[in-house]
Amino acid sequence: MSIEHRPLGRTGVSVSSMCLGAMMFGEWGNPDHGESVRIIHRALDAGINFIDTADVYSQGESEEILAKALAGRRDDIVLATKAHLPMSEDPNHRGNSRRWIVRAVEDSLRRLDTDWIDLFQIHRWDPAVEHDETLGALTDLVQAGKIRYIGHSTFPASAIVEAQWTSQTRQRQRYVTEQPPYNILDRAVENEILPLAQRYGMAVIPYSPLATGWLSGRHRAGQQTGPTSLARQRMIADRYDMTRPENQRRLAAVEQLDDLAEEAGLTLIQLALAFVRNHPAVTAPIIGPRTMEHLDSQLAAAGVVLTDDVLDRIDTIVPPGTSINPGENWVSPWLEPAARRR
């Protein structure tokens, strides 16, 4: 097993072609700090040098676990975190304002026990906040040496273009990465997001390449299981409700993909991760193991390249640019009832 390294957009930084996601470390997934640290060390020893987390993951606990794991190894790791989602009931402890972004960076630096964040990402777009408000704060934080590069997650195409324009016209730091959802069951970003990222030289770091467990091989007709932690069960229960038509469609597609993987001599996990990792626009899919077994099964996808025949078969199961469940895709806030009623 060999994990190649790829350029992080046009930054000159090299990162492993798999990124270790830390969302499952802490109360949302694995509350055992010692085991989580061992999983992180196993990933680093395997050649991963790129780790992604967020302040909201287990309300900061994920970042604290990473601090323990990276003690003595921080200089060799490209460390990414995010802010935007609520960190308390206070309406100002969230969002993309200068006031909150500066506070969020300071809080993450403290929890991560580091002097700098390599990649700081805005977790979601907020149409109520001017891009220049956010980019101005991020530019100052880069100049202060607290962050090195900036990126965003799940931005719509129009916001990506407007943010790039704002950076150019206002002489602000430029977003260099996008982190969208992308997997075989949800290919919507192939329409605009991936081409835009290529046009602007942005690195793409897709999350959920296993479709929140649907492409892990766990799900079969009559024996579906959802997330194991109570916190995750509450957050995404609808995604595993087999009475819902979209989940029945997912299951049918997964069974076809599992047969295809077996014919190709691969596990379903290898098929799913290779599909995302081998897209020309993608730098590194984010893997999110909760256990050592999860990590090993995902590391086994390193170096796997899908043949044209296998890719063509995937396209017949889930056509390019489509999603099994369009309701999970990003929806413009201008389509919310309050915005469209006259």
* Domain 5-340, second-level architecture: Alpha-Beta Barrel (3.20)
In terms of DSSP bridges, do strands 175-179 and 203-204 run parallel, antiparallel, or are they unpaired?
parallel
pTM score: 0.91
d(CA 211, CA 276): 11
d(CA 293, CA 132): 44
C-beta separation of 83 from 104 below 8 A:
yes
Q: Which residues are catalytic?
A: 57
Q: Where are the alpha helices (DSSP H) in 12-156?
A: 33-45, 61-69, 98-112, 131-143
Residues in the chain: 342
* Local confidence pLDDT in tens for the 342 residues of the chain: 679 999 999 999 999 999 999 999 999 999 999 999 999 999 999 999 999 999 999 999 999 999 999 999 999 999 999 999 999 999 999 999 999 999 999 999 999 999 999 999 999 999 999 999 999 999 999 999 999 999 999 999 999 999 999 999 999 999 999 999 999 999 999 999 999 999 999 999 999 999 999 999 876 555 555 555 555 555 555 666 778 888 899 999 999 999 999 999 999 999 999 999 999 999 999 999 999 999 999 999 999 999 999 999 999 999 999 998 766 656 667 777 777 765
Amino acid at 192: E
- Whose tokens are 């016209």? That residue is 169
* CA quadruple 39, 60, 138, 127: dihedral sign: positive
